[in-house]
Structure 1
């Protein structure tokens, strides 16, 4: 079975504030050396998908630099491979993507010319590990036209921020509520679609030219009673970084504090691939004290680090203290500085004796800030 993978990675999330001023949310660093898009992209590759299109739009430079030719994901190949799908001006004058359906419609060529029979559509903002082959088998066993991946969310999620799904006894979706207060169930749609490619093309041709630009709201939901749309329940760890700074911070802290989350994300169902960098192993001097932290390669640690994620090439000098924080690549924390409950973006300099402490929520230093 041949499947085309499409990753929606052009979104702009104002909830992430300064973290996305200079990058797409899909390019947001996470877990020490990864980017958010690495998880969905690796899921596809580990499931045997060898042709992937990444639809970009907002601040794509960092994301494109990270993806490159797709070599790290074994997608630099003659047949299939990685395709970066950006907005462009054509004869029709179209340019900026108006929504998820319009984004795919403007890149209909990758659908028409491909040999694939099916399309898997996911988001570059979601952190999870999944073998899509189980989804494919489920789709065929149900005789579904479209399968949407869902999950029963617990109290750590704000249900009003997610699409809510109502199913019958056969898992067929009979109702859908998009981000409403007090939804009838806790079953949420996770932004992953699987369907026949020709069905998708037919739906887009009949909807987008008349102004329907959203894949879920304008293309699928108006036809939910006439199409066999099924829910596939995902049982594993799943979070969406676009929900805000606190969500992004929680995901990183889950990797630090929860062993089961680390094992699921990094050891089950294949590896998480990312862009390689030529850093040496992390170095810890005799003054260093590390407790419950993720330390990436290239770091030089002489201070105290506790309950934190430290990205590649970070220098923490003697007497400095880092606690409950995320320190991104290339940052230098000098002697005696204190960083608590903070997110420090790339290439920042925190000078000797400075104190960067968040109170009720993480404080953020923008990229290349010096204090």
Structure 2
């Protein structure tokens, strides 16, 4: 395979995930007990043997930088690297004004590199992809740009770039986040659209030329979806890669991809991991999921007198101590303590959390470093919860980092 340079956009503010993004950037939000959101895309590149990666950061990036340093160091004696690049205002005194502007402001890394293929991926989606297969498709089509796409329900169209494609895989139509009633559906399937997954493969020289042209356009919003794709599409050299054709070793079934841009989608993605047959698995040894594991003992489950510790369909990370409590359909991150008689249901604990005795926690996301006193109920009376916490439209309660409840 020709030389490839990869750039991961990891500067997202993540306002729709607030308060989980109150003190961290969106890609750094913990996920699935042991991981961070950015780990999914990094594992896709590492398992695809693509180890020349720049991670472009911006907002509240310290926890992300710490994670990259702890989990993603590679051998500096070879031509491999995973380097965090902060926003440096090289092209003017302003932050990144769009996804294309983020790459343009770091254009020198592309210009000084010998790579002929540039991968530009987002950092906050949950999925697996052998990126080599997409690059092979890109080469076969001699494309300037290849965009990954997935079939989604039409009622979600307003969240994504919606694509039309011909029989050869060429993009012939594109609308960025259209109204649902205006979204073009898949021919023969009026209930679904073909949505951009927000990851791109470019020819290097053509990408450089396009970024320079776009940067000089004062009318542009400097965004790949809004500006770059519509400008390049008429050339006939923009192709669409069908994500469902991507094959991961030792895995079968439908391709899974989820944008975790909202509290609801984040909670649902965690709950997906708990299904009897999860739509995405982190247990495939042929596609290992790397991350940073802190030095903690194994999870410990203890009965307390006549009170039995019960765990049902849950993920419990290292350092957990569960004493006479019931955990059902929940995800617990590192170093969680749960006291006697407490019942936790359909909840996500990000880690470093202590919950007292006889509590009831239902459909709640609890950020790190939270302490909850004995006898507290959360997620039971949403009207009361709304007076104290963030509650999503779907009834998911979110407890911010560092909260002290009932003390």
Q: Report the Cα offset of residue 172 of structure 1.
A: 0.6
Question: Does the Cα contact within 8 Å between 2:171 and 2:236 map onto a contact in 1?
Answer: no
Corresponding residue for residue 238 of structure 1? 257
Corresponding residue for residue 7 of structure 1? 8
Rounded to whole Å, the distance in 1 between the matches of 2:355 and 2:278 is 31
Paired residue secondary structure (2:273):
helix
Paired residue secondary structure (2:327):
strand
Asked if 1:361 corresponds to 2:395, the answer is yes
Corresponding residue for residue 60 of structure 1? 61
- The number of aligned residues is 365
Question: Does the Cα contact within 8 Å between 1:122 and 1:193 map onto a contact in 2?
Answer: yes
Q: Render the CA deviation track for 1:125-175: whole Å, top value 9, x for unaligned.
A: 1110110111111112222221100001147x6222111000111111001
Question: Does the Cα contact within 8 Å between 2:134 and 2:241 map onto a contact in 1?
Answer: yes
RMSD: 1.7
Asked if 1:270 corresponds to 2:319, the answer is no
Rounded to whole Å, the distance in 2 between the matches of 1:234 and 1:268 is 22
Aligned counterpart for 2:230 among listed residues 221, 226, 237? 221
Q: Render the CA deviation track for 1:62-91: whole Å, top value 9, x for unaligned.
A: 1111111xx63452423230121211244x
Structure 1 unaligned segments of length 5 or more: list them: none
Rounded to whole Å, the distance in 2 between the matches of 1:101 and 1:227 is 20
Rounded to whole Å, the distance in 2 between the matches of 1:145 and 1:354 is 57
Question: Does the Cα contact within 8 Å between 1:10 and 1:24 map onto a contact in 2?
Answer: yes
- CA gap of 1:6–1:258, structure 2 versus 1, over 3 A, is farther
Rounded to whole Å, the distance in 2 between the matches of 1:176 and 1:323 is 42
Rounded to whole Å, the distance in 2 between the matches of 1:15 and 1:320 is 30
Q: Give the alignment's TM-score, normalised by structure 1.
A: 0.94
Q: Report the Cα offset of residue 2 of structure 1.
A: 1.5
Rounded to whole Å, the distance in 1 between the matches of 2:286 and 2:68 is 21
Corresponding residue for residue 333 of structure 1? 355
Query: What is the correspondence of 1:250-289 to structure 2 with a 5 Å cutoff?
Result: 250-263=268-281, 265-267=282-284, 270-286=287-303, 287-289=308-310
Corresponding residue for residue 212 of structure 2? 205
- CA gap of 1:306–1:54, structure 2 versus 1, over 3 A, is same
Q: Render the CA deviation track for 1:76-133: whole Å, top value 9, x for unaligned.
A: 423230121211244x543411111111111112111222221111111111011011
Q: Render the CA deviation track for 1:45-78: whole Å, top value 9, x for unaligned.
A: 111111111111111111111111xx63452423
Q: Report the Cα offset of residue 349 of structure 1.
A: 0.6
Query: What is the correspondence of 1:152-163 to structure 2 with a 5 Å cutoff?
Result: 152-154=151-153, 158-163=156-161
Rounded to whole Å, the distance in 2 between the matches of 1:220 and 1:272 is 32
Corresponding residue for residue 116 of structure 1? 115
Question: Does the Cα contact within 8 Å between 1:161 and 1:179 map onto a contact in 2?
Answer: yes
Asked if 1:192 corresponds to 2:213, the answer is no
Rounded to whole Å, the distance in 2 between the matches of 1:28 and 1:76 is 26
Asked if 1:105 corresponds to 2:104, the answer is yes
Question: Does the Cα contact within 8 Å between 1:51 and 1:75 map onto a contact in 2?
Answer: no
Paired residue secondary structure (1:6):
strand
Greater displacement, 38-47 / 217-226? 217-226
Paired residue secondary structure (1:18):
coil
Corresponding residue for residue 178 of structure 1? 176
Question: Does the Cα contact within 8 Å between 1:165 and 1:177 map onto a contact in 2?
Answer: yes
Rounded to whole Å, the distance in 2 between the matches of 1:137 and 1:245 is 35
Q: Report the Cα offset of residue 198 of structure 1.
A: 1.5
Q: Report the Cα offset of residue 11 of structure 1.
A: 1.4
Rounded to whole Å, the distance in 2 between the matches of 1:136 and 1:144 is 10
Corresponding residue for residue 372 of structure 2? 350
Rounded to whole Å, the distance in 2 between the matches of 1:76 and 1:30 is 27
Rounded to whole Å, the distance in 2 between the matches of 1:209 and 1:294 is 50
Rounded to whole Å, the distance in 1 between the matches of 2:313 and 2:133 is 34
Rounded to whole Å, the distance in 2 between the matches of 1:134 and 1:349 is 46
